[in-house]
Amino acid sequence: MNFFEAQQQARQQSKRLVLLFVLAVIAIIMAIDLVVVAALLANSDDAAAGLTVGQTLAQHTGTVLLVSLIVGSVIALASLFKIGTLRSGGAAVAQSMGGTLISAETTNPHHRRLRNVVEEIAIASGVPVPEIYVLERESGINAFAAGFTPADAAIAVTRGALEKLKRDELQGVIAHEFSHVLNGDMRLNIRLMGLLFGILVIGIIGRKILEGMRHARDSKGTAPIFLIAPAVMIVGYVGVFFGRWIKAGVSRSREYLADASAVQFTRQSVGLAGALKKVGGLPEGSKIENVAVEEVSHMLFGSGMNFSSMFATHPPLLERIRRLDKSFRADQFAVIAKQWSQPVDVLALDAALGLGQGLDQHLGLEAQPRSSMTTKPPPLPDVRRDIEVQPRAVSSHVGAPKQGDFATADTIQNHIPPLLLAAARSQRSADRVIYALLLDADTDIRTQQLAMVVAHCGGEAQAETLMMREAVDTLHPMQRMPLAAIAFPALRRHPREWLQGFMQLIDELIHADGQQALFEFCLARLMAIHIVEALDPSRARVIGRSKLVHCEQEVALLFAVLAHAGHNSTVDAQRGFQAGVQLLFAQRSIVMPDSSGWHTSLVPALTKLDQLNSAGKQLLIEAMVTTISHDGCIAVAEAELLRVACAALHCPLPPLLAR
């Protein structure tokens, strides 16, 4: 299953979820209506008169309709309230579970290792680096990803996972969670939380009413309530029964997909299998002690709590392991328990196996030697050399990073100067990194830009920006966008007003020389996409409904921009444009539009194209690659434009284009 199929399946699952929820609500309303009618019949003269339930219902139609309206409104408002509390995205879920945000200044080696792994996988996936939380009070091995889109995602990992998992096992767990990010599961999971909370509220209300009536004095007047309250409570918890069943059915298939994606990503099943084996072998397993665990059980790497098989949100653990290691036997759990029940220094094990690369330079330690089992990350491509690509291979690469991307991300991340990494991770200095990326080579223009920085941020920011620019000059072009991605979590923690001023300053820095270079457009657009979604994550629509035939003008403009960026002559650009257009609109003759003002006109075009359905986006990306690489190759700068266009379409493209 590729990225587009997974996204479409997630959308279908969302429709199924809403349908099942509506049916469950209707059933709950009807059950409570029957309870109310029965209570009215039992507490009036209707029973003595020999009236049936149907006749009583006819006599009290207004009351029944009012009860139906109240119950439906309570469920709807409770669901909306819950979803509203999660509007800020993944961070709200992580914090509700007691998560502690990893700070840029942390000296905890476990936290640093986790951040190193998360950043590496984010770069390899082509998505913004998420916020990273640790559940310090949880000794079980577990993790989850939460959010509406990758731009507001948060990754949370338990203390037990950090202390019990080796680096390759931790990588397997994080890759599993990133699969949920890429496959569109996060938005589905948050909707599950909100909708099921509305059903649960009915049971809670019945219980509270019953508790409040214990000390009531007028037993005759309160008799109907004494009859209705326990029945409402029972009906509500029957609704919870069906809610859990719905959640389990939606969640289990997505877990198999995430396991398979994680193995494809890391190109080894040992790490993920090792983590699952420790979950099964250790006494703590994947248990979460937080009382709110049921709300997030469908998001977790492991089950988090004991459910019967009917309500299990995850496939059987042994089955998950055997899909990765066919030779594993259940009696081997005892061996794992014996080996890992006592405290083990996993960081020392990593160092002994040569798995501590990347962590050492961030800790300021002498680099540990690599094991012969590990391979040296590949060098980044020569900036003067073009990349040969195939359109179908690139589209299949979207949202489906491979082991080569992981190795490339390792190279990209671990060769960024420590000064820039530290600054990018800090909320105080992350913006200076972006300013440094935008400083012009011309001395006069740079002086104007620095004056703008001083006006917005003060004199201290000027000195820091200049210092970082010296480090930026040493970067490979493929490291610039990933550096911005690393800075993003720190940037998005600023308030809305600050972020609006930040985006205004970026625009001023770009236009200081009266023009906009390709890299400047790409960086500004990437920041704008992610910051807008981080400010209002619940409004972002990752999967649209539009078809290509309704976006002909926008496609033509995009292809004209790509054609001019990917070819040196007007004739070659025209040929590239027509090749891409013919792939989408074979029966139509489309003239290449004037793209001289593309810096402003391309933004609304990409916004409309983002509303395409999954099949349309897949075809569009293949045609985009056909256009920009009509001469058979893509330069690094052109690949950045392609990657930003894909990001605007919510189709994350890994850093190393598939050939």
pLDDT tens-digit readout, 99-112:
999 988 888 999 99
Three-class DSSP category at 612: strand
Cβ atoms 488, 502 nearer than 8 A: no
Mean pLDDT of the chain: 82
Cβ atoms 637, 477 nearer than 8 A: yes
**What number does CATH give the domain 91-182+255-340?**
3.30.2010.10
Q: What is the pLDDT of residue 362?
A: 39
10 Å CB burial of residue 157 (0-12, 13-18, 19+) is buried
DSSP conformation class of 592: P
**pTM for the full predicted model:** 0.82
Q: What is the pLDDT of residues 408-458, one digit of tens each?
A: 888 888 889 999 999 999 999 999 999 999 999 899 999 999 999 999 998
Q: H/E element holding 166?
A: none
Residue 554 designated active-site: no
Q: What is the pLDDT of residue 615?
A: 87
Dihedral Cα 90, 303, 321, 138, nearest 10 deg: 70
Q: H/E element holding 158?
A: strand 154-158
- Residue found by looking up tokens 């202390």 in the block: 163
- Own/partner long-range contacts of 286-289 (Cβ < 8 Å, ≥24 apart): 286/140, 286/141, 286/142, 287/140, 287/142, 288/97, 288/135, 288/138, 288/140, 288/142, 288/158, 289/137, 289/138, 289/140
Q: What is the pLDDT of residue 495?
A: 92
Number of helices (H), then strands (E), in the chain = 29, 4
Q: H/E element holding 104?
A: none
Q: What is the pLDDT of residue 54?
A: 67
Take residue 223 and report the two structure tokens written for it: 């008799």
Catalytically annotated residue among 177, 284, 294, 295 = 177
Span between the terminal Cα atoms of the chain, in Å: 19
Q: What is the pLDDT of residue 287?
A: 92
Q: Name the residue ranges covered by the structural domains of the chain.
A: 3-88+190-251, 91-182+255-340, 408-517
Residue ranges of the chain with per-residue pLDDT less than 70: 1-2, 6-7, 10-11, 14, 41-57, 206-207, 209-229, 232, 236, 253, 264-268, 307-311, 353-378, 381-386, 538-543, 656-659
Q: Could you give phi then psi for residue 135, rounded to 5 degrees?
A: -90, 90
